[in-house]
Chains A and B, each alone.
Chain A
Amino acid sequence: MNGPLYSIEFKGACIRFNDSFSLLDIDWTLEQGEVWAIVGASESGKSALAAALAGAGEISSGTLTGVDSNAVCVSLESQAALIERERLRDDSDITNEVCEGTPVREMLDEVSLDPVLLTQLIDLFRLGPLLERGFRKLSTGETRKVLLTRALSCKPSMLIIDGPFEGLDANTVPLINGVLQQVSHHIPMVLVVNRFDELPEFVTHIALLEKGRLKVTAKTSDQQAMDLLSQLFHLKTSDIKIPAAIAAEAPPTLNNDEPLVRLRDASIRYTDNLVFEHLDWQIEPAQHWQLTGPNGSGKTCLLNLITGDHPQCYSNDVFVCGYQRGNGESIWDIKQHIGYLSSELQWAYRVSISCKNVIISGFYDSIGLYTKATGLQQEVAEKWLQLLGMQNRAGQPFDQCSYGDQRLLLIARAMVKHPHLLILDEPCFGLDDMNRQLVLALIEKICAGSETTIIYVNHHAQDQIAGIEHYLSLDN
């Protein structure tokens, strides 16, 4: 194996920082030959994790081994600290003399352990003309180069760079990139990267952080995982809100004094099988519900009574979105108010159609698209694709999408018209960890950005959605 020898291991580590931020339950191993990049939204704790590698923070539980006090972290914080030091050194207020501040040469000499290496680095970064200049007078990019030179010339046991390309102009990026690649052969290196598209090629592993937890790790050589991670990163970090409804095409308004759904003494029975009986359920507008129950307890049957997909909705006392069922309303009158997703729907969605039209089909509650979409519908669908990080795939056939991407598109389809009721029947069913993260990230966006009432079915305790306060549990 190539690369510098090192090994760092987090085992269930919870690490507290003085700004009361905590990293939680981190399980993570970094080893020889690996160059990691930490990614995550702001506040996700990626800088904290980087700092922990350099020994910062206080371990409150779990263990962290292999951290060397000689590790150096280059970050905006370390940059700010130096600038602050310079500000304090500046006594021109008192002396009334213009103070140039500490010259660059001094800044470098004070930490350098290897004059030969330092000279090489000065050449490499073309710092020669700047050596006599005051540190504070440097541009952002120049400051960055000085910081890197400082970090490298002190022969650190590990180099942690938080935002390696922050503030660098386009010409400087390849230069720094090349240097870091060289260095990565000799010094263990971890980068904190803010944009997925600026991931250097020599990075071998990615760690995605969210709310202080390590959510996903992936090898950069696994293209599929990288695509998903990039999409997930996009969903988690982009500011794009879920696209608004089209006012002119919104479902008819409902009387807010009435419940959205009311089932009275509902039952589903077959000749030789009773699924459930005597079930009462009332859902008021803006009441989010979670529905649980073991396999076969009738969760999907129950939801289908609401959507109208279960034929026994006509032999039950069912009130949905303004309609007492079985009084001459059509199933499309019901469906216009409801967005729906389940794995059954995904299996049923076997038509030749593009990704974009899958989303548009949500305006018509159809599987496939049988009407010419309006310009506005096209626009909204394109915005959804953008949100999903799939804007380049509008025309791609739906059946060529991965299972997880299909699920995302179908959630967008369910939500595109901003229905009064959104039913998500096991939205994470059959998905691997990464795709689950993606789907949950999307659902969170939806919850945050709409007035829609949600019914959510799931099995996994860890797949919680914030904001659900009502629970219905079916048992066998």
Chain B
Amino acid sequence: MANYFNSIPLREQLAQLGKCEFMDLSEFTDGVNYLLGKKLVIIGCGAQGLNQGLNLRDSGLDVSYALRETAISEQRQSWKNATENGFKVGTPEELIPAADVVLNLTPDKQHSRVVAATVPLMKQDSCLAYSHGFNIVEEGMQVREDITVIMVAPKCPGTEVREEYKRGFGVPTLIAVHEDNDPRGEGLAIAKAYAAGTGGHKAGVLMSSFIAEVKSDLMGEQTILCGMLQSGSLLCFDKMVEQGVEPGYAAKLVQIGWETITEALKHGGITNMMDRLSNPAKIRAWELSEEMKDILRPLYHKHMDDIMAGDFSSGMMADWDDDDAKLLGWRKETGETAFEKAQNTDQDIPEQEYFDHGILMVAMVKAGVELAYETMTSAGIKAESAYYESLHETPLIANTIARKKLYEMNRIISDTAEYGCYLYNHACLPMLADFMTGIDTDVIGRGMKLDNDGVDNQRLIEANAAIRSHPVETIGETLRGYMSAMKKID
């Protein structure tokens, strides 16, 4: 199999990369009707598989799970997940031949094997759905011509997909139809009904392409989302301890800090996150982020270039073939860092203190989000995609760190994200080494403690203008508006 993206002409590459439009709610008035009465069979009963299945069934669809013979006979976790939730479970041989839609919700790494084994069992003119396009785009999987290939990718972890559905809402969702596999022209109708079945249509659906999804997703997850938070955690913690901040406090400030400051990001973008700081702290954070952006820009470019060229995926797939030697080694290293081992203090840290004592962390989030966004859009990815894959997902990843530090983040994210995160981390730490020597506890750990909060008017105007006029803020306001128009009615 060859890299699909590299096999198509530049004209096509650009067209696909630039595909991303926000769909109006009125396009979903038919709800799940297109799939009512059809048989949906899900392969994979992990967090995405189980929770999407629960939503689809609660929307009135017929859902069952195809599990491997051994998973059933040994009553593995996936079997328990499916049966305890009252689903019909069978082997692929039993269920796939009758399926109208097969939902491949296994981890990326298994896609080649799973799809190769599944497609021959699928009936004529059925549909294969992905939640992530890596297998099609990077591995170049070619699916039988009569089969429709679509993607429905909720932009949140599986548990959140379920929680939001139960609330009566959904999570933003990206859908795509693989143009090489849409023989009857029904791909879009199936994808829309599927998205409606997960509740995604209520929170906003982006019509995109397999290629745009894969390239932007890879870029976001390995740079700002996981990479920056991992590197930032280690740098900030080590700096505080080096400067005599109590390690329990430092660990908590970092672990819970990402979640707290990115909660502000979620509500009102970088502007609001920065507005949580005092004026002098805001100006300082802005300066720090500008400095870091200059240092790290080449790294973001390299990640984007490697992703576009296919070098990232070929490197990672080589590691898959080497039994994940690099990945597992890096995972072990992460587990042994001082931050990961530190015991958090029981001391209560007030919400505002996470901002006041975490000015550097705020600057890191700002630098990472803006760089990832700038790099993606300059590579031809649409603003909407770039926003979702950078700013929008940062709070979600921060939330996993708040649960169990970097261990939990790396456990929850995909293998592709974890692998990319380590690549980023190894490059980022030495690049920021010099910068970090100039950092003191006024921006990380203890706060600025100024006698007065006075600032120069011109400097403040300059900082505010730079923060607010960044393109990620413009698109962010629009996209959050789609969600909030419904969500925030007060």
Interface residues of A (CB under 8 A from B): 270-271, 308-309, 311-316, 328-333, 348, 351-354, 357, 361, 364-373, 395
Q: Does B464 interact with chain A (Cβ within 8 Å)?
A: no
Report the Cα distance A414→B57, complex, angstroms: 24
Measured between beta carbons, the chain B residues less than 8 angstroms from A332 are 168
Candidates A357, A367, A372; contact of B168 at CB < 8 Å: A367
A271-B80, A368-B169 known; A330 vs B59 contact (CB < 8 Å): yes
Q: Does B404 interact with chain A (Cβ within 8 Å)?
A: no
Of the stretches B82-90, B145-153, B249-257, the one at the interface is B82-90
Assess the B168–A364 pair: CB atoms within 8 A: yes
**Interface residues of B, count at CB 8 A:** 27
Measured between beta carbons, the chain B residues less than 8 angstroms from A330 are 32, 58-60
A271-B75, A271-B83, A367-B167 known; A354 vs B60 contact (CB < 8 Å): no
Report the Cα distance A305→B489, complex, angstroms: 32
A367-B167, A368-B167, A369-B489 known; A312 vs B85 contact (CB < 8 Å): yes
Nearest-neighbour CB distance to chain A for B79, whole angstroms, equals 9
Assess the A368–B85 pair: CB atoms within 8 A: no
- Chain A's closest residue to B167 (CB) is A367
Instruction: Give chain B's interface secondary structure class.
Output: loop
Measured between beta carbons, the chain B residues less than 8 angstroms from A313 are 86
Measured between beta carbons, the chain B residues less than 8 angstroms from A270 are 84
A311-B85, A368-B168 known; A373 vs B60 contact (CB < 8 Å): no
Nearest-neighbour CB distance to chain B for A344, whole angstroms, equals 11
Report the Cα distance A333→B58, complex, angstroms: 10
A-B contact pairs, 24 of them (CB 8 A): A270-B84, A271-B80, A311-B84, A312-B84, A312-B85, A314-B87, A315-B86, A328-B60, A328-B61, A328-B62, A329-B60, A330-B58, A332-B168, A348-B166, A353-B490, A354-B490, A367-B167, A367-B168, A368-B169, A368-B487, A369-B487, A370-B169, A370-B486, A395-B490
Nearest-neighbour CB distance to chain B for A249, whole angstroms, equals 16
Q: Does B36 interact with chain A (Cβ within 8 Å)?
A: yes
Assess the B37–A328 pair: CB atoms within 8 A: yes
Report how many A-B pairs have Cβ atoms within 8 Å: 70
0 or 1 for each of B43-76: is its CB under 8 Å from A? (1 = yes): 0000000000010011111100000000000010
Assess the B490–A371 pair: CB atoms within 8 A: no
Candidates A328, A367, A368; contact of B36 at CB < 8 Å: A328
Candidates A314, A364, A395; contact of B57 at CB < 8 Å: A314
Which residue, A270, A309, A315, has most C-beta atoms of chain B within 10 A?
A: A315
Nearest-neighbour CB distance to chain B for A301, whole angstroms, equals 12
- Chain B's closest residue to A354 (CB) is B490
Report the Cα distance A369→B484, complex, angstroms: 10
Assess the A370–B86 pair: CB atoms within 8 A: no
Assess the B58–A366 pair: CB atoms within 8 A: no
20 extra A-B contacts, CB within 8 A, seeds A330-B58, A368-B169: A311-B84, A311-B87, A312-B85, A328-B61, A330-B32, A330-B59, A331-B58, A348-B166, A353-B490, A357-B489, A357-B490, A361-B168, A366-B168, A367-B166, A367-B168, A368-B167, A368-B168, A369-B487, A372-B486, A373-B489
- Chain B's closest residue to A328 (CB) is B60
Q: Does B202 interact with chain A (Cβ within 8 Å)?
A: yes
Candidates A308, A351, A357, A370; contact of B202 at CB < 8 Å: A370
Measured between beta carbons, the chain A residues less than 8 angstroms from B59 are 330-331
Nearest-neighbour CB distance to chain B for A78, whole angstroms, equals 53
Assess the B490–A370 pair: CB atoms within 8 A: no
Assess the B167–A351 pair: CB atoms within 8 A: yes
Assess the B86–A311 pair: CB atoms within 8 A: yes
Nearest-neighbour CB distance to chain B for A232, whole angstroms, equals 28
Report the Cα distance A331→B61, complex, angstroms: 11
Nearest-neighbour CB distance to chain B for A273, whole angstroms, equals 10
CB interface residues, B 186-234, toward A, < 8 Å: 202
- Chain B's closest residue to A369 (CB) is B489
Report the Cα distance A336→B61, complex, angstroms: 19
CB interface residues, B 343-388, toward A, < 8 Å: none
Nearest-neighbour CB distance to chain B for A458, whole angstroms, equals 25
Measured between beta carbons, the chain A residues less than 8 angstroms from B490 are 353-354, 357, 395
A314-B57, A351-B167 known; A370 vs B80 contact (CB < 8 Å): no
Measured between beta carbons, the chain A residues less than 8 angstroms from B169 are 366, 368, 370
Measured between beta carbons, the chain A residues less than 8 angstroms from B168 are 332, 361, 364-368, 370
- Chain B's closest residue to A310 (CB) is B86
0 or 1 for each of B152-185: is its CB under 8 Å from A? (1 = yes): 0000000000000011110000000000000000
